[in-house]
Amino acid sequence: AKPGSAAAYLSSENLGSLDEDLGVQVLLFLSPCDALLAARLGRSSCLARAAGREALWEQLSSRSWGSGATAAGLLGPNGEPCGRSFRRHFALWRKAMDELGLAADAEVPLRWVATWRRLRKWLSKHAPEVDATLRGPADAVALTALQDFVGGGPVAPVVAGLWRICDGQDAPLEQGLADELRMPVLCSDDVSWWRGIFGGYAVYDYEISTVLLPLQ
């Protein structure tokens, strides 16, 4: 780090004498993953001590997942009891999000994380052909388009959360619709028509469709 810079100061022995409350404020400016890494530093480090504060993890949980995370009955993605430990609660859910390929700063409802995680595990074991069609998280452009589509107002997290984790499928559709949506084309002898993951009616011609369509 450049002498005299903030990075040089934080990496020096001065860090050990900083107040833990200040350390918490420093970690709140960093990503949650950085806070998890800080917890592994030696106990002589102010950041390591700050990373052990439940107040930090309570704020990170609230910032990432909303006020639904409370100290009463915290549970992990597999129902693991976390007691009143926001740190354990955050670490377990962060690991589950890593398994889904979500960014460190992704803000998605935990219910969707748990649902998609169970679904992906089941599909990978019992229907790998379907699992292979699932796309990654929707990008910011697609999510903005969704917001514009509903009039520019905020989109309910329970709705947007679906595509924040999986932006639909790359599953084949009939020629006209496939061209319009830039999806794979379903051939007449193609047996992959069954690879959709949801049932229901498409908005096009009222035909039955099981494919989860991308936002764009």
For the segment 68-95, the average pLDDT, to the nearest whole number, is 79
Picking from 30, 28, 88, 29, the residue whose alpha carbon sits closest to that of residue 54 is 88
Dihedral (Cα; 107, 112, 99, 166), 10-degree rounding? -90
Residue 179: helix, strand or coil by DSSP? helix
Tokens of 109: 């409802």
For all residues of the chain together, what is the average pLDDT? 75
**Residue 144: Cβ-neighbour burial (10 angstroms; 0-12, 13-18, 19+):** middle
Question: In terms of pTM, does the model score above 0.85?
Answer: no
Q: What are the tens digits of pLDDT across the range 130-167?
A: 888 888 888 888 888 888 887 877 788 778 888 888 88
pLDDT at residue 37, as a whole number: 77
Q: Name residues whose C-beta falls within 8 Å of residue 75's C-beta, 6 or more positions apart in sequence.
A: 81, 82, 89
Q: What are the tens digits of pLDDT across the range 107-133?
A: 788 888 999 999 999 999 988 888 888
Picking from 51, 156, 167, 40, the residue whose alpha carbon sits closest to that of residue 101 is 167
